[in-house]
Structure 1
Amino acid sequence: MIDADTFSKGSDYRNLRTTYIIFICTFDFLDHGEPLYECKTCWTKKSRDIIQDKSTKIFLNSTVGTADATPDQYPEVDKDLFYLLQYIHTHTVHGDFVKEIDEELTNIKFSETQEVAYMTYEMELLVRHNDGIREGIAIGREEGLSAGRKEGLAAGRKENSREIAVSMLKKGLAIQLISECTSLTKQEILDLAKKHNLL
C-alpha cells in the first residue's frame, strides 16, 4: 500500500522510494532477546540475496527495557531508543528525548480530560438552565400574575446559577470561568464559596 501511494502505474521499478515500516512491540517478535530486528525482503531459496525493493521493516522489542536494564547492555542501539523502549515497558523517564515524549503525552491526556470536563459542564449547565426555567415558570404560574411570573422566572434562573456556581467551585474551577458560565458577579461567587466553606 505504501508503494502504491508513492509509485504510479507504469513507473520504472528502479524509481521505488525508500520506505521504513516500524513496529513497536510489547513482546519479543523473534524471541532472540534483541532490542531491534531489522528485516529486509530476500529470496527464500538464498536468504543472502536481498531484493532491492528499498523497503525495511524494523521491529522494536520493548521487553528489553526492564527496570534494571541499562543502555550499556545494548551498545548497538542508540541510548534514546533504548530509553524509549524502557519507557514503553516500565513508564520510567530517562533522557531528554523520552522526557519530551512523556510531557507531550501528559499534555494530550490533560487536554482530552479538560475537553471532556468542559463538555460535561456544558451539558450540566444546559440541563440546570432548562430546569431553572421550568422552575421559574412554575413559580410564576402559582402566583398567577404577570409580574409574579417574571419574578418567578428570575428567581428560578438566579437559584439555578447559584447551584451551578457551587458545583463548579467544588470542582476547583476558576472564579472567572464560573462568572462567565453563570453570569454571577465575582463577589456573588465569593459569597457562595464562603457560605459553603469552599474557600
Structure 2
Amino acid sequence: MSEMCHSQDLTIETSMNLSEHFYFLQYINGHAPQGSFVNAINEEVAKVKENKEMERSYMTYAMEIERRERIARNLGLEEGIKQGVQKEQIRFILALLEKHVSLETIVAASDLSAETIKAIAHRNGMDI
C-alpha cells in the first residue's frame, strides 16, 4: 500500500510540475502570473525593475550587445565587399586572358603579380 501511495505522490508531483510549466509559458506570453513558481519569478522581476543600479547594468549590457552586433555586421559587410571585389577582379583577369591580352599588360592593369595571374589562370583551366 505504501508503494501505491508513493506512486500517487509521484503522479501528483509530476502533474504539478506540468502545471507550473504551463503557467510559466503563459507568463512568458504576457499572461498574469499563476502558480507558486511563476509568482516567485514575477516577484523577482518586480524587484529587478525597481532596482535602478541593476537596470543600469542591464542597459549597459544591452548596449554592449548592440555594439558588438554592429561591429560584427560591419565586419561581415566589409568581408563580403572584399570577396566581391576579388571575384570581380578574377572575372576581369580571366576575360582579359580569354582575349589574349599579354601578361605584362594584365600585371600593369591589375597591380597583381605575374605569379598570381598565372595561378588564377591555372585554377580556371587556362594556360598562359
Greater share of strand residues, 1 or 2?
A: 1
Return the structure number with greater relative CO, CA threshold 8 A, min gap 6.
Answer: 1
When normalised by structure 1's length, the TM-score is 0.26
Greater share of helix residues, 1 or 2?
A: 2
When normalised by structure 2's length, the TM-score is 0.39
Q: Which has the larger radius of gyration?
A: 2
